[in-house]
Structure 1
Amino acid sequence: MTRALPGGSPGTAPQDDLPQAVKILVAGGFGTGKTTLVSAISEITSFHTEENLTRTGLGVDDTAGVEAKTTTTVAMDFGRITLHDRLDLFLFGTPGQDRFWFMWDELAAGALCAVVLTDTRRLASSFAAVDYFERRGLPFVVAVNTFDGARAYPAETVRAALDLDPHVPVLFCDARRRDSVKALLVDAVEHVLAVEGRLAR
């Protein structure tokens, strides 16, 4: 017997009883492209809580490698995408800076899974997100943002650098491209279905 995803009926196969809507977190370090990803894929006008970086953040916010960035998410990003007529994804982007991490517990409540977006120039900025979802037991995938200027590494190199468990997928996407982000989200949902299937056996 297989266990249904949240919202499904016990004893039914997950692929036959997908919920009408699911919540997915988009997490990662400061400046990895979370806001860009949500904006690129959302079929509604995406919602953002962006504020300008100010001098008060000097010495607090780690802007190494993203010195040209002038704004930051202080609460969340929000968008929605319909994958097909039975599945809507509600995307919640987390703030990337340490001083806003208190928001993560609220945003994670009720989430089906998470996408940890990474920048290969600054992989260490994603350690906290990986640790957070491992501690919560929330399924997640790691997505390498293949934007201009990012050095390409094989998936296994990224896996080793982040010390990921073997079952955590390492995927690649361009957070600026809608088709690339959509493929990433499909893979993330399929990963959850696979995890649910393993838990049920």
Structure 2
Amino acid sequence: MARDASQVATTVLDLLGGEANIQQLTHCATRLRVVTKDDNKVNSEALGETEGVHGYFFKNGQHQVILGTGFVSKVFNVMNGEADVEPQQEAAQKENLSTFKSVTRTFSDIFVAIIPALVATGLLMGLRGLIVNGFGVELSPQLMTISQVLTDTAFIFIPVLVTWSAMRVFGGNPVLGIVLGLMLVAPQLANKWDVAFGNAEA
């Protein structure tokens, strides 16, 4: 049976203490991430048992509701329209979170968005290794080139992914983040392997 995003969003919002209790509302690939003004108003037990919700936990000052890929964005859009969400209030968050938790949550928000790309790339890399080394299949130069494009691109351009995600988390322009990341991998700069092994020319 298909889940109703509107119904789930209304139920989750009520269990989080209502729209007046929402301070910050974001989401990652599978989870709704909510910072509330008063954590005592959240019905954590009922959230985990709500129909359409795959799970719930509280970590680093965030209430994280597991909804699943695709569905989480639908619920987020409904809640974002219903809840009177205030802009991120840095001062209030610092009162409720320690510096360590705040830094940890920020890094988590940045890297969670790029994990799917790295996981998919790693799986393709493992599949190629299994075919070539496990089964002894010799790939043609053309297939090897294609496989290298599929497995190496995300890791070569990981600075671009990180700066894009960081800009998104900190409220900047993601396009500017992409440009900054591309600067870090510009071909005019010394090769990272040459720098690592001390072979880069000054």
Q: Same fold (TM over 0.5)?
A: no
Could you say which structure has the higher helix fraction?
2
Tell me which interval the TM-score lies in, with the shorter structure as reference length. under 0.3
Larger radius of gyration: 2
